Amino acid sequence: MGTKITLKNGVLSVPDDPIIPFIEGDGTGVDIWPASQLVFDAAAAKRGKSIEWQEVLAGEKAFNETGDWLPEATVQSFRDHLIGIKGPLTTPIGGGIRSLNVALRQIMDLYVCLRPVRWFTGVPSPVKHPEKVDMVIFRENTEDIYAGLELEEGTPEAKKLIEMLKDGFGWEIKPDSGIGIKPVSESGSKRLVRAALEYAVKRNRKSVTLVHKGNIMKYTEGAFRNWGYELVRDEFSDVAVGWDDCNGDPGDKILVKDAIADITLQQVLTRPDEFDVIATLNLNGDYLSDALAAQVGGIGIAPGGNINYVTGHGIFEATHGTAPKYAGQDKVNPGSVILSGVMMFEHLGWQDVADDIVRALEATIADKIVTYDFARLMDGAKEVKTSQFAKAIAERL
Among 151, 192, 302, 323, binds ligand NAP (CB under 6 A): 323
Residue with smaller CB distance to ligand NAP, 300 or 303: 300
Q: Which residue is nearest to ligand NAP (CB)?
A: 321
Residue 106 engages ligand NAP in binding (rule: CB under 6 A): no
Alpha-carbon gap, residue 345 to 161, rounded angstroms: 47
Please identify, using beta-carbon distances, which residue of 97 and 165 lies nearer to ligand NAP: 97
Using CB under 6 A, which of 13, 50, 66, 91 touches ligand NAP?
Answer: 91
Q: In the bound complex, what is the minimum distance in angstroms from residue 182's beta carbon to ligand NAP? A: 22
Binding residues for ligand NAP restricted to 287-316, rule: CB under 6 A: 299-300
Is 390 in contact with 35 (CB distance < 8 Å)?
yes
Which residues does residue 317 pair with via DSSP β-bridges, in sequence order?
A: 86, 304
262 is catalytic: yes
**238 part of the active site:** no
Query: Measured between alpha carbons, how far is 276 from 134 in angstroms, rounded to an integer?
Result: 6
**Closest listed residue to residue 37, CA positions, set 341, 301, 305:** 341
Structural contact between residues 340 and 381, judged by C-beta atoms closer than 8 angstroms = no
In angstroms, give the least distance from the CB of 54 to ligand NAP: 20
326 to 355: interface string for ligand NAP, x by CB under 6 A: ------xx--x-------------------
Among 317, 330, 346, 356, binds ligand NAP (CB under 6 A): 317
For ligand NAP, which residue of 77, 90, 125, 142 counts as binding (CB under 6 A)?
A: 90
Identify whether 352 is a catalytic site residue: no
Q: Write down the least CB distance from residue 331 to ligand NAP, Å.
A: 8
Give the Cα separation of 395 and 291 in Å (integer). Answer: 32
Task: Measure Cα distances from 62 to 32, 55, 75, 120, 170 in Å.
Answer: 18, 11, 12, 35, 48
Q: Near ligand NAP by CB under 6 A, which window of 71-79, 208-216, 264-272, 319-327?
A: 319-327
Q: Do 258 and 210 contact (CB within 8 A), yes or no?
A: yes
Tell me the window of 85-93, 144-152, 236-244, 264-272 that interacts with ligand NAP (CB under 6 A).
Answer: 85-93
Q: Does 125 bind ligand NAP (CB under 6 A)?
A: no
Q: Give the nearer residue to ligand NAP in terms of CB position, either 49 or 61.
A: 61
Residue 282 vs 333, nearer CB to ligand NAP? 333
Least separation in angstroms between CB 289 and ligand NAP = 12
CA distances for 165 relative to 143, 159, 199, 255, angstroms:
21, 10, 41, 41
Which of 144, 258, 286, 330 is flagged as catalytic?
A: 286
Q: Is 56 in the site for ligand NAP (CB under 6 A)?
A: no
Catalytic residue, chosen from 68, 262, 276, 290, is 262
Active site residue 31: no
Encode 358-374: b = buried (16+ Cβ within 10 Å), e = exposed: bebbbbbbeeebbbbbb
Evaluate whether 83 touches 347 at the Cβ level (below 8 Å): yes
CA distance 100 to 104: 6
Query: Could you tell me the CA-to-CA distances from 96 to 65, 69, 99, 101, 144 in Å, in that order?
Result: 18, 9, 9, 13, 21
- Contact between 264 and ligand NAP by CB under 6 A: the answer reads no
Q: How far is the CB of 87 from ligand NAP (least distance, A)?
A: 7
From 149-157, 187-195, 238-246, 318-326, give the range in contact with ligand NAP by CB under 6 A: 318-326
Shortest separation between residue 137's beta carbon and ligand NAP, angstroms: 15
State the Cα–Cα distance between residues 147 and 183, nearest whole angstrom: 7
Give dist(CA 213, CA 149) in Å, integer.
20
Dihedral over alpha carbons 313, 318, 321, 326 (to 10 degrees): -140
Q: Which is nearer to ligand NAP, 60 or 276 (CB)?
A: 60
State whether the Cα torsion 297-299-300-301 is positive or negative.
positive
Active site residues: 146, 213, 262, 286
Residues near ligand NAP (CB under 6 A) are 28, 88-91, 101, 299-300, 317, 319-324, 332-333, 336, 373
